[in-house]
Amino acid sequence: MQKTAAAVHDLAGFGKCSLTVILPVLSAAGVAASAVPTAVLSSHTGGLPGVFHEDFTHGVRAFARQWESLGLSFDALYTGYMSSPGQVEACGELVRALRRPQTLFAADPALGDNGRLYSGISRETARAMASFCRSADLILPNRTEAAILLGEEPRPGLPTREEAAALLPRLAALGPRLVVLTGVLFSKTSIGAACYDSGTGETAYAAAPRVEGHFHGTGDLFGAALLAGLLRELDLPQALQAAVCFVSRSIERTRLAGTDPRFGVDFEEELPAFQRALRLS
């Protein structure tokens, strides 16, 4: 039977991030993907001025009511950016309405990076998100978000492999069974991610060549690819490696093409290779 997932993220009309990358990646993996927009934006907010933004918290609740009345269920619920404590509460209601015993609930905290909260994210929202993530099966923070979830003051920079190894079990102790830490620096030329399964106590790492620069939307791309791998029954280390390689190759393709990094990465032509990594072709 075909796997299903509901992605609860914002929708940016321009700029490859959030739902505009999550849906095609899941579809390419053979996953039937449904969308719950938390906000509608004319573009993403990373370096692009004049953004139109419409909050869709009321819609999240309306989606949850109708989908629950239809008896819908999903193999995975994947949540991301939320802009207020009220929106975190609404997304929590949706998760409780749609979650089943077999559902994988994956939460990307999407609170900040490089030691700072994202613009528009309040301390109250960060606290609400930390509470929200405790009930997830899988969380995908970066170093800044990991510190926030742990109630610590975030520091700039990327975590080393050793720092990641120390952080992962502490994050799992908050509640999630599976933890993935993104943006792990292995060397000056190598970057990737680390994962931990509290059920087995296993820690694993995945690395790829580092490309200098900041490319928007890569966290969403990584999260979608990781979830796709898990839904295609790769184990966590295998899904981690597939996702890291997919994002790295997409970034390198973007660099070679000279695409403005603010617009997102050129991932589309890397989808066939990603499908092969998922053993789909």
Q: For 76-131, what is each residue's pLDDT tens digit?
A: 999 999 999 999 999 999 999 999 999 999 999 999 999 999 888 999 999 999 99
Residue 47's pLDDT band (boundaries 50, 70, 90)?
confident
So where are the chain's domains?
4-277
Report d(CA 198, CA 39) in Å as an integer.
Answer: 33
Tell me the percentage of the chain whose pLDDT exceeds 90.
90
pLDDT tens track for 135-194: 999 999 999 999 999 999 999 999 999 999 999 999 999 999 999 999 999 999 999 999
- Domain at 4-277, CATH homologous superfamily: Ribokinase (3.40.1190.20)
Find all residues with CB under 8 Å of 52, minimum gap 6, and list them: 41, 42
Q: What angle do CA 111, 115, 119 make, to 5 degrees?
A: 45
Residues in the chain: 281
Residue-level pLDDT at 240: 98
Helix (H) or strand (E) holding 55: strand 53-55
Q: What per-residue confidence (pLDDT) applies to 281? A: 67
Enumerate residues 6+ apart whose C-beta is below 8 A from 189: 209, 210
Q: Is the pLDDT of residue 34 over 90?
A: yes
